[in-house]
């Protein structure tokens, strides 16, 4: 029986290993983590992450060929294939701070693998890492390995949160990078055989190590770049009277461009896009390519601009001050169908409004009060560290309440900001919401999911990103 161990029981490690266990009943899969509360949750009825379809998969295999454990060393020692899916945050200090990937957790995992191993192993990079990380990991493993053979593979993960299980069941592609040596090819084949249980062979792409590592950074940069491109157009649409939905529809109909990832919004979020692009920028700078670095940096700057522009629009529309005004925030997760708040645009929007002394009332169907308070009190980049290293007690923010109902959040509010496109927000009783709000009542739709005409007929002043502006908003121009 082949044994697999995955270090890191997070958004990637948990779902990917659960699907491998489901599709390969003859393989024993252990997912290990240093965070005991996370492992306890994986072993309970309340999994630590919300992901449609995940409960079902875990229930089918847990205790049979899927195990969650804090006994990291034992499971690593017993495994034939070790996946490493630990955090790779942006460095906050020292060389490359604010850009380079912090490989502390990766390095400590690699050293531990070298220490505890008694047999040959394939070590798989599942985390997103800078190009050439495999080389560094190889050095750590071989210099400590007591003659044991380690083969390093790069197998970056392309799942998207919210659709992770579907993505894992039917991936567009699986990418495996390995050394171009007979031992490297053998290791690639071993991992390919695992995926071949359910992924068609023509969807499994094998490359050299560096191409696989770079492809993940490139894919995230391309995806984020589409969002920043359409968001840049949204600003121009507002200035000219064009409608960004019509523009992106017309543009996306070109089969060379395609329609996906062309929705204008308050900005992209999630744990990966910003971190991976900053990392790409840093690698370009280190390789003497400042023009390339500058090009990709713009994707981040445009995203920051879009969030600032949104806050400025809210404040400017409301007579240039939101001081002591209640503003309802609908949605805090970085997108619908996940409880993940890492780098969610809601953090920057809320901080911007709090900076202008607004009173915020926040509702998200999947995000806890504790998480929201933590997010709003943490420094940039601090969130991407294992839980026990994050600040434990958030600073109290007096101007903030977190409620469990959209009607409660909007009661007596001056404005509503919709920041996550949860389906339930489309079907709220907006007449009831309007009746219970202060007047004039504003709605700022950061995801373009609301029926603006219907809301206007109720009496709301409505702002939709990249759409022709109401007369009111035209009279109160926002300066970004
Ligand atoms: P996460 O923060 O949810 O999980 C990482 C886990 O690793 C944590 O539970 C932490 O306690 C554990 N850990 C850290 N050091 C450890 C050690 N030495 N031994 C044992 N456990 C350790 O992170 P997530 O989202 O799963 O991401 C992991 C990697 O996958 C990152 O590099 C990320 O960029 C990449 N990725 C993330 C995607 C996503 O949608 N979240 C998608 C594709 C890639």
pLDDT digits (tens, 9 = 90+) for 40-55: 999 999 999 999 999 9
Residue 9 beta carbon below 6 angstroms from any ligand 1 atom: yes
Closest CA to 159 of 10, 337, 12, 54: 12
Average pLDDT over residues 56-73: 98
Residues 372 and 440 in one domain: yes
Residue 7 beta carbon below 6 angstroms from any ligand 1 atom: yes
pLDDT band at residue 386 under the 50/70/90 scheme:
confident
Per-residue pLDDT at 334 exceeds 80? yes
CA of 85 to the centre of ligand 1 (A): 5
Per-residue pLDDT at 392 exceeds 70? no
Residues 90 and 233 in one domain: no
- Reading the block at residue 25, the tokens are 């009943």
Lowest mean pLDDT among 7-11, 87-91, 356-360, 387-391: 387-391
The whole-angstrom separation of Cα 295 and Cα 330 is 34
pLDDT of residue 257: 97
In a domain, 213, yes or no: no
Q: What is the ipTM of this complex?
A: 0.98
Per-residue pLDDT at 186 exceeds 70? yes
CA of 476 to the centre of ligand 1 (A): 44
CA of 424 to the centre of ligand 1 (A): 30
The whole-angstrom separation of Cα 135 and Cα 269 is 30
| Atom of ligand 1 lying closest to residue 49 CA | 3
pLDDT of residue 92: 87
Residues 189 and 231 in one domain: no
CA of 9 to the centre of ligand 1 (A): 7
Q: Which helix (H) or strand (E) holds 106?
A: helix 104-116
Cα-based distances in Å from 324 to 355, 356, 418 = 11, 9, 19
Average pLDDT over residues 402-412: 97
pLDDT band at residue 480 under the 50/70/90 scheme:
low
Residue among 5, 8, 84, 381 to mutate when testing ligand 1 (max atoms within 8 A of CB):
8
CA of 342 to the centre of ligand 1 (A): 12
Residue 85 beta carbon below 6 angstroms from any ligand 1 atom: yes
CATH number, domain containing residue 433: 3.40.50.720
In a domain, 459, yes or no: yes
| Atom of ligand 1 lying closest to residue 271 CA | 41
Lowest mean pLDDT among 39-48, 143-152, 339-348, 440-449: 143-152
- Reading the block at residue 373, the tokens are 């308070």
pLDDT of residue 391: 66
Lowest mean pLDDT among 63-67, 91-95, 222-226: 91-95
Average pLDDT over residues 5-21: 98
- Average pLDDT of the chain is 95
Q: Which of 169, 199, 229 corresponds to the end of one domain?
A: 199
pLDDT of residue 332: 98
Residue 440 beta carbon below 6 angstroms from any ligand 1 atom: no
Residues 255 and 147 in one domain: no
DSSP reduced 3-state for 329 = strand
In a domain, 48, yes or no: yes
| Atom of ligand 1 lying closest to residue 13 CA | 26
228-249: pLDDT as tens digits: 999 999 999 999 999 999 999 9
Average pLDDT over residues 118-128: 95
The whole-angstrom separation of Cα 478 and Cα 351 is 18
pLDDT of residue 390: 73
Residue 272 annotated to the active site: yes
CA of 38 to the centre of ligand 1 (A): 12
Residue 51 beta carbon below 6 angstroms from any ligand 1 atom: no
Residues 333 and 285 in one domain: yes
Name the phi and psi angles at 442, rounded to 5: -110, 145
In a domain, 42, yes or no: yes
The whole-angstrom separation of Cα 385 and Cα 54 is 23
| Atom of ligand 1 lying closest to residue 12 CA | 26
Residue 155 beta carbon below 6 angstroms from any ligand 1 atom: no
Residue among 5, 7, 11 to mutate when testing ligand 1 (max atoms within 8 A of CB):
11
Map 260-283 to HEC letters: CCCCCCCCCCCCCHHHHHHHHHHH
CA of 257 to the centre of ligand 1 (A): 32
In a domain, 73, yes or no: yes
Return the residue whose CA atom lies nearest to atom 12 of ligand 1.
Answer: 8
125-150: pLDDT as tens digits: 999 988 888 988 999 998 876 889 99
Q: Which of 152, 168, 199 corresponds to the end of one domain?
A: 199
For residues 6 and 18, the answer to whether their CB atoms sit within 8 Å is no
Residues 95 and 161 in one domain: yes
CA atoms within 13 A on the CB side of 17: 30
Residue 13 beta carbon below 6 angstroms from any ligand 1 atom: yes
Residues 302 and 162 in one domain: no
End-to-end CA distance of the chain: 60
In a domain, 205, yes or no: no
In a domain, 45, yes or no: yes
Q: What percent of the chain has pLDDT over 70?
A: 98
Return the residue whose CA atom lies nearest to atom 6 of ligand 1.
Answer: 8
Residues 72 and 195 in one domain: yes
Given the structure tokens 């504790």, which residue do they identify? 370
pLDDT of residue 225: 98
Residues 250 and 339 in one domain: yes
pLDDT band at residue 381 under the 50/70/90 scheme:
confident
Number of domains in the chain: 2
Closest CA to 377 of 345, 356, 354, 357: 354
Per-residue pLDDT at 393 exceeds 70? no
pLDDT band at residue 422 under the 50/70/90 scheme:
very high
Residue 39 beta carbon below 6 angstroms from any ligand 1 atom: no
pLDDT of residue 478: 78
Residue 154 beta carbon below 6 angstroms from any ligand 1 atom: no
Residues 356 and 391 in one domain: yes
Neighbours of 137 (CB within 10 A): 25
In a domain, 206, yes or no: no
Average pLDDT over residues 259-270: 96
For residues 20 and 26, the answer to whether their CB atoms sit within 8 Å is no
pTM, full prediction: 0.94
Active-site annotation holder among 5, 237, 272, 350 = 272
Residues 175 and 259 in one domain: no
List the domain range (segments joined by +) for residue 323: 221-475
Residues 194 and 279 in one domain: no
């Amino acid at each position: 029986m082949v044994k697999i161990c995955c270090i890191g029981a997070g958004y990637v490690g948990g779902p990917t290993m659960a699907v491998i266990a489901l599709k390969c009943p003859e393989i024993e899969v252990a997912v290990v983590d240093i965070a005991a509360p996370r492992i306890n949750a994986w072993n309970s009825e309340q999994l630590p992450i919300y992901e449609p379809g995940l409960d079902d998969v875990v229930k089918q295999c847990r205790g049979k060929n899927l195990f969650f454990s804090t006994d990291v060393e034992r499971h690593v020692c017993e495994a034939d294939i070790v996946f490493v899916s630990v955090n790779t945050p942006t460095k906050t200090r020292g060389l490359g701070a604010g850009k380079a990937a912090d490989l502390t957790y990766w390095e400590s995992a690699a050293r531990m693998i070298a220490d505890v191993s008694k047999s040959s192993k394939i070590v798989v990079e599942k985390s997103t890492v800078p190009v050439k990380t495999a080389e560094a990991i190889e050095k750590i493993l071989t210099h400590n390995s007591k003659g044991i053979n380690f083969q390093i593979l790069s197998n970056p993960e392309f799942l998207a949160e919210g659709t992770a299980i579907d993505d894992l069941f039917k991936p567009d592609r699986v990418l495996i990078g390995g050394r171009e040596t007979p031992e490297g090819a053998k290791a690639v084949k071993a991992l390919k055989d695992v995926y071949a249980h359910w992924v068609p062979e023509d969807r499994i792409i094998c490359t050299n190590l560096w191409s696989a590592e770079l492809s993940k950074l490139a894919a995230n940069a391309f995806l984020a770049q589409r969002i920043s491109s359409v968001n840049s157009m949204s600003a121009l649409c507002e200035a000219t009277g064009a409608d960004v939905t019509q523009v992106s529809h017309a543009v996306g109909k070109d089969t060379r461009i395609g329609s996906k990832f062309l929705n204008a919004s308050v900005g992209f979020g999630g744990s990966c896009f910003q971190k991976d692009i900053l990392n790409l920028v840093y690698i370009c700078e280190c390789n003497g390519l400042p023009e390339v670095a500058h090009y990709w940096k713009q994707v981040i700057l445009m995203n920051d601009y879009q969030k600032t522009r949104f806050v400025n629009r809210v404040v400017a529309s409301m007579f240039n001050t939101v001081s002591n005004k209640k503003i309802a925030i609908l949605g805090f997760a970085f997108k619908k169908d996940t409880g993940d708040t890492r780098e969610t645009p809601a953090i920057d929007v809320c901080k911007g409004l709090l900076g202008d002394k607004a009173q915020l009332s926040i509702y998200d169907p999947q995000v806890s009060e504790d998480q929201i308070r933590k997010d709003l009190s943490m420094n940039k980049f601090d969130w991407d560290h294992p839980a026990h290293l994050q600040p434990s007690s958030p600073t109290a923010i007096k101007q903030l309440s977190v409620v469990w109902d959209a009607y409660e959040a909007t009661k007596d509010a001056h404005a509503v900001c919709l920041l996550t496109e949860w389906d339930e927000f489309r079907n709220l009783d907006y007449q009831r919401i309007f009746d219970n709000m202060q007047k004039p009542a504003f709605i700022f739709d950061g995801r373009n999911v609301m029926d603006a005409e219907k809301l206007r007929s109720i009496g709301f002043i409505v702002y939709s990103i990249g759409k022709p502006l109401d007369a009111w908003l035209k009279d109160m121009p926002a300066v970004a």
